[in-house]
Amino acid sequence: MNLENEGFVTLNGSAAHLSHKTVIVLGTPRGGTSMVAGTLANLGVYMGEQLSVVFQDQVLSQCIKEKDKKKAKQAIRARNEQYPLWGTKNDFPRTGTWLRLFREPVYVVVFRDIFATANRRVVSENLSLLSEMFSVLSFYLLILVFLRFSKRPILLVSYEKALLAPEKFVNELSNFLGIDNRSTFAQAVRFISPSPAEYKRAVTDSAQLDAEGQFFGYLDRIYATQIGGWALSISDTEPLEVRLFVNGVSQQTTFANLPRSDVAQADTRFREQCGFRFELPPDRSLKRGDRVEVCLSVQKHHLIHSPQRFV
């Protein structure tokens, strides 16, 4: 009996025997899914169109955001025709009801220390640590329920173990999917590293709001009673005023002057005092389907990820 905790377990058998399949990377936000998706991409697996530096499939992500299953089916059909094996990364559980759209889905599910996952979000988004730890636990509970009833091939991955033994992880991943291309093995191993600089910069690289590149901003948190993000101008050190709309009705304004060390660290042009947070009273909390918008009060630019629906 092997008593070593290697950190990689297969459920419901290997997917190597499937000639055609779609590998779907599941996990929590900031929980290691980018590492897994990037490893797959470096192994030569097509991971989608218009990939961001966190290996998010922008085409399918937009379909999910817009709830456009017709467009998603068209994109999936085109990929099925071109690739016997391809993959996608999208955070669970928001994509849970979409999983049935994929041909022969197999899952690589990554788990990370809940404190590290929550604290990554605290550092990035100025959130409450204990609140985020509860949120991560809720995500994992949904994932475990899904795994309990799934009959599809599944590879469970420990993020921490993958970082400690990248060769072992890449080997397990290759064997699970039946990838026998040793020319990409070393490249995939080299890719694996904790919190690469490109990952830290991802949130700022895609946050430009105007053609001149003077204004940047991101709406990165929507809860029932709290909406937050960051906004700044690189041509003016004064904090920007941002305005919140719910279902087209102006609700509040505030200044983006809260600390966001992650933004300052991600780009030398940026400063730390650029975060904002709107607090809604309980009797005006967001309801499912509410349309949330945040824009710069004077310049009228919408922040990246605005508008969006509360789910």
The string of pLDDT tens digits covering residues 34-68 is 899 989 999 999 988 766 666 777 788 778 777 78
Rounded distance between C-alpha atoms, residue 65 and residue 67, angstroms:
6
User: Are the beta carbons of 280 and 225 closer than 8 angstroms?
Assistant: yes
The mean predicted confidence, pLDDT, of the chain is 85
Q: How far apart are the C-alpha atoms of 263 and 203, rounded to whole Å? A: 8
| pLDDT at residue 175, as a whole number | 95
Provide the 3-class DSSP secondary structure of residue 251. strand
CATH of 204-309, picked from 2.40.50, 3.40.190, 2.60.40, 3.30.420, is 2.60.40
149 residue type, one letter: F
Sheet with 291-296: list strands edge to edge: 249-255, 241-246, 291-296, 308-309
- Short-list 96, 63, 67, CA closest to 78: 63
Structure tokens of 285? 């909390």
* pLDDT tens for each residue of 253-271: 999 999 988 788 777 888 9
Q: What is the pLDDT of residues 97-149, one digit of tens each?
A: 778 889 999 999 999 999 988 887 665 555 678 888 888 898 899 899 989 99
Asked if pLDDT for residue 201 goes beyond 60, the answer is no
Q: Which helix (DSSP H) or strand (DSSP E) does residue 148 occupy?
A: helix 129-149
pLDDT at 14 over 70: yes
Say whether pLDDT at 284 is over 60: yes
Asked if residue 90 lies in contact with residue 64, where contact means CB atoms within 8 angstroms, the answer is yes
Angle at 298 between CA 294 and CA 299, to 5 degrees: 80
Supply the pLDDT for residue 124: 55
With CA atoms as reference, report the closest residue to 110 among 24, 46, 203, 220: 24
From CA 125, how far away is CA 309, in angstroms rounded? 19
What pLDDT score does 127 carry? 63
Contact between 172 and 182 under an 8 Å Cβ cutoff? The reply is no
Eight-state DSSP code of residue 97: G
Which two structure tokens, joined as six digits, stand for 167? 């060769």
Confidence of residue 1 (pLDDT cuts 50, 70, 90): very low
- Four-way CATH pick for 8-195: 3.40.640.10, 1.10.10.10, 3.40.50.300, 3.10.20.600: 3.40.50.300
State percent of the chain over pLDDT 90: 43
Looking at residue 116, its amino acid is A
Global pTM? 0.65
Domain regions of the chain by residue span: 8-195, 204-309
